[in-house]
Amino acid sequence: MGQNIIYLDKVASTNDYLRELLSNFKPLAEGTAILAEDQFQGKGQRGSTWVSEPGKNLTTSILLKPHFLSIEQQFALSASVAIAVVKWLKSKTKLPVTVKWPNDIYVGSKKIAGILIENKLKGNKIDASIIGIGININQVNFDTATTITSLSTLTDRDDYVIKDLAVELFASLQKEYNTLYTQSWRFQLDYYNELLFWKGEEKPFLVAGEKKIGIIKAVGIDGQLQVLIDNKLHKFNIKEISHLIS
């Protein structure tokens, strides 16, 4: 993973760029990565945008071909990518690093990274996956946002070399991808659940426009968040529930 890297000075979205390469039937080896200096229209979950200061952060998209996974198992890939980012960040800080469902990465109570995976399906298998990852590295100014942080803010350093960090990240991703292949999806899903932000705690959520107090229990292989609300276990898809973080 990352053996073939396409470096871009400026691009709207690394995911879109990689998808366009694939749609043009250009043969690309699995593990090919796009690494952008400036991504000005990065995409996040729920249709949101990922705003990144040029040259300050790690913005990449990687091509994978997880043919060994069925459509029903595709969340295990998302879990494996999140685990890889968490483990890599844990090597940089002693603060707690968790995954806020489905795949935002938090250090303490602040977001430091986001993941967006787009799968191309063929029959009942995943033909190709574009793994988009954005990690705040040297950026320290996030306007009025108070729930965002960066590696620089956490470590009081502003001289991180993005390309060097990318090599480390790719190695972590490769390790977890190999684990997904050799240990089965259940192993990675269990590990992902151990890293869940707010798991087992009474916390506020927004459900159908109403504030609810719930306790996160787990995430299933279907990617649904299982939350105990009013002594009943509910399952939610993306956009059906959101964390109320003050």
- What is the number of other CB atoms lying within 10 angstroms of the CB of residue 105? 24
pLDDT digits (tens, 9 = 90+) for 75-127: 999 999 999 999 999 999 999 999 999 999 999 999 999 999 999 998 888 99
In degrees rounded to 5, what are phi and psi of residue 194?
-70, -25
* 3-state class (DSSP) for residue 138: coil
Specify whether 65 is located in the same domain as 136.
yes
CA 219 to CA 237: how far, in whole Å? 10
Specify whether 15 is located in the same domain as 114.
yes
Specify whether 169 is located in the same domain as 47.
yes
pTM for the model: 0.94
Which of 146, 132, 162, 152 lies closest to 57 in space, CA to CA?
162
Specify whether 45 is located in the same domain as 162.
yes
Which CATH number does the domain housing residue 236 bear? Answer: 2.30.30
Which CATH number does the domain housing residue 99 bear? Answer: 3.30.930.10
Residues 97/90, Cβ–Cβ less than 8 Å:
yes
pLDDT digits (tens, 9 = 90+) for 116-150: 999 999 888 899 999 999 999 999 998 767 899 99
* 3-state class (DSSP) for residue 172: helix
pLDDT digits (tens, 9 = 90+) for 204-224: 999 999 999 999 999 999 999
Specify whether 108 is located in the same domain as 146.
yes
Residue 227 lies in domain: 202-243
Specify whether 187 is located in the same domain as 223.
no
Specify whether 165 is located in the same domain as 63.
yes
In degrees rounded to 5, what are phi and psi of residue 211?
-80, 130
Tally of structural domains, the chain: 2
Specify whether 52 is located in the same domain as 73.
yes
Specify whether 109 is located in the same domain as 226.
no
